[in-house]
Amino acid sequence: MTAQIIDGNQIAASIRAETAEEVRKLKARGVNPGLAVVLVGDNPASQVYVRNKGKACEEIGIFSETIHLPATASEAEVLELVGRLNNDPKFHGILVQLPLPKQIDETKVLFAMSPDKDVDGFHPVNVGKLLIGEPVFMPCTPAGVQQMLVRSGNSPEGKHVVVCGRSNIVGKPVAAILMQKRPGANATVTICHTGTRNMTEITRQADILIAAAGSPAFIKADMVKAGVVVIDVGVNRVDDPTRKSGFRLAGDVDFDAVKEKAAAISPVPGGVGPMTITMLMANTVKAAKMHSGLA
């Protein structure tokens, strides 16, 4: 079987074009969408993500500012900054890049954010709204996964979706999104995790498999049925001495083997990666509309 390659770059580009058009319309009405990005410390992957978020904002016409605090910043300093950003009308959205250094309680920081500026969708009020089907801001990576399925012609409606991974950032919210009774969702969802005993038995039942386990090439060909649609959320750095950086990015799926059985599959890189920032842009525009009474 020749699998359809679900091209995240292409899907992201069309959503970014739509979002840029929304930004032009908002600006014409005197609203300048703004995003504050908070980076604490020097985690190399976080620095790359934050830089890319800034670049994407610029391309789309969103005003953005990155506030970089040192790795030694105290919890009180971060909470004070979040409080200040909550009250700054220049910013319609706030994003605190995770993970935070260990002296800072992430939950406290997420709770401190104003839910109507929480464009990451991580505040417990937004997590709760997502679960009961009243989403304000959908978390960006899971929202990107849904868009990839729908826009590639692989709607999850009526399908058995198996999610491998139960993180608060991907596994739990993607399940919450895809189980809702609404177009582009309405799936039967099963979540597998490290406590699952008969994982292969379950993954082989998947019409759609979402791999978000955080382990390189974890999903092997014998774990999927023929004709499955696979979305690979993994971004694992694996050693590669042939690269200047010394590493390459690998997904959670053994791509070369699984693509021989799949009907459709997303690659890494070039799959979910470009979608996350794209959905962040879309959420920031949504926030700007809400705050200015145009939603």
Shortest Å, Cβ 114 to ligand GUN: 15
**Under the criterion CB under 6 A, does residue 140 sit at the interface with ligand GUN?**
yes
By CB under 6 A, name the one of 3, 60, 94, 95 that touches ligand GUN. 95
Tokens representing residue 183 in the block: 């177009």
Residue pair 104/75 in contact (Cβ under 8 Å)? The answer is yes
Asked if residue 97 binds ligand GUN (CB under 6 A), the reply is yes
Q: Does 22 bind ligand GUN (CB under 6 A)?
A: no
Classify residue 270 as left (phi > 0), alpha (psi -120 to 50) or beta: left
Q: Single out the residue of 19, 64, 126, 141 in contact with ligand GUN (rule: CB under 6 A).
A: 141
The angle that helices 140-151 and 171-178 make with each other, rounded to 10 degrees, is 50
Q: Which stretch binds ligand GUN (CB under 6 A): 85-93, 95-103, 199-207, 239-247?
A: 95-103
- Pick 141 or 152: Cβ nearer ligand GUN: 141
Q: Is 120 in the site for ligand GUN (CB under 6 A)?
A: yes
Q: How far apart are CA 24 and CA 21, in angstroms?
A: 5
Q: Which is nearer to ligand GUN, 126 or 155 (CB)?
A: 126
213 binds ligand GUN (CB under 6 A): no
Binding ligand GUN by CB under 6 A: which of 19, 126, 276, 283? 276
Answer yes or no: 289 catalytic: no
Q: How far is the CB of 69 from ligand GUN (least distance, A)?
A: 14
In the set 81, 82, 143, 169, which binds ligand GUN (CB under 6 A)?
A: 169
89: which 2 tokens? 């009308």
Tell me how far, at minimum, the Cβ of 27 lies from ligand GUN, in Å.
Answer: 26
Whichever of 11 and 277 has its CB closer to ligand GUN, that residue is 277
Q: Which residues contact 71 (CB under 8 A, 6 or more apart)?
A: 40, 41, 42, 101
**Shortest approach of ligand GUN to residue 149 CB, angstroms?**
18
Answer yes or no whether residue 82 interacts with ligand GUN by CB under 6 A: no
User: Toward ligand GUN, which CB reaches closer, 36 or 265?
Assistant: 36
Rounded CA-CA distance 138/174 in Å is 9
Q: Which is nearer to ligand GUN, 123 or 259 (CB)?
A: 123
Per CB under 6 A, residues contacting ligand GUN are: 95-98, 120, 140-141, 169, 276
